[in-house]
Amino acid sequence: MKRLMIVRHGESEWNASRRLQGQADIELSDKGREQARALRTTIEALNPDRSITSDLKRAFETARLLGIEAPLANPALREIDVGVWTGRSIADIRADDGQGYQGWRSGTFTPEGGEDWRDFVSRTSACVMESLKASERLLVVCHGGVIRALLEKLIDLRPGRIIPVGPASLTVLAERPSGSGSMRLELFNYSPMGPVLDAPD
């Protein structure tokens, strides 16, 4: 049975101040490093046979802290480009354009200079599905938006129905029945440090 294990990076410095990152290359915070280390034992128990990661620092460092010695970095796993919203606080964006922000969370609105949701889903899911062909237990270390995109593509769960997953949290999809090519949600938003119910995008 194929398993897809997806980890969001630990808290970044901009997550801590609730600023939207998109493809800005922001470091993990000290708390984010602690979160990633806490998840390591869980990942080791799941024993991935292949690991891929976004090439952005916050994801790549998370992969290393999870015990992946040489994670395969791929720019196709970068977060969605949020254009002119990059670096702005979520509170300011909501105050200026609350309807646009909700549309963006639902995959129906693209901020100026940003990436279209459908293009983003295609980019990220193609990368993951190609890697899954050669793996039975694939670990993907990426971003919250990438996780939403994969859940839409693989189990038809629309992004507007999904809370932002917590930092350094684990989501698992499994092929059931084995060999069917049909994925089922096995675990969502798990963290050994406890649930994060109000995680920033």
Q: How would residue 194 be classed by pLDDT, with cut points 50, 70 and 90?
A: confident
Q: Cβ contacts of residue 33 below 8 Å, gap of 6+?
A: 10, 61, 65
Residue 197 lies in a domain: no
Residue 200 lies in a domain: no
According to the annotation, is 47 in a ligand binding site? no
144: which 2 tokens?
A: 């919250």
According to the annotation, is 117 in a ligand binding site? no
**Digit-coded pLDDT (tens) for 31-61:** 999 999 999 999 999 999 999 999 999 999 9
The residues annotated as belonging to the active site are: 9, 79
Residues 56, 71 contacting (CB under 8 angstroms) = no
Q: Domain count for the chain, please give it.
A: 1
Residue 198 has pLDDT above 80, yes or no: no
Residues 27, 12 contacting (CB under 8 angstroms) = yes
Residue 177 lies in a domain: no
Residue 134 lies in a domain: yes
User: What's the CA gap between 191 and 114, in Å, rounded?
Assistant: 30
Residue 178 lies in a domain: no
Q: Cβ contacts of residue 167 below 8 Å, gap of 6+?
A: 8, 9, 10, 11, 12, 15, 32, 35, 191, 196, 199
Q: What is the pTM of this model?
A: 0.96
Helices and strands in the chain, H and E counts: 6, 6
According to the annotation, is 29 in a ligand binding site? no
Plot region of 182 (φ>0 → left; ψ -120 to 50 → alpha; else → beta): beta
> 188: exposed, middle or buried (C-beta count within 10 Å: 0-12, 13-18, 19+)?
middle
Q: How would residue 20 be classed by pLDDT, with cut points 50, 70 and 90?
A: very high
According to the annotation, is 11 in a ligand binding site? yes
User: What's the CA gap between 24 and 57, in Å, rounded?
Assistant: 9
Angle at 176 between CA 149 and CA 151, to 5 degrees: 10
CATH of the domain at 15: 3.40.50.1240
According to the annotation, is 58 in a ligand binding site? yes
Q: What is the pLDDT of residue 11?
A: 97
Give the range of the structural domain holding residue 142, as residue numbers without chain letter.
3-172+184-190
Residue 158 lies in a domain: yes
According to the annotation, is 10 in a ligand binding site? yes
Residue 127 lies in a domain: yes
Residue 142 lies in a domain: yes
Residue 9 has pLDDT above 90, yes or no: yes
Residues 59, 77 contacting (CB under 8 angstroms) = yes
According to the annotation, is 34 in a ligand binding site? no
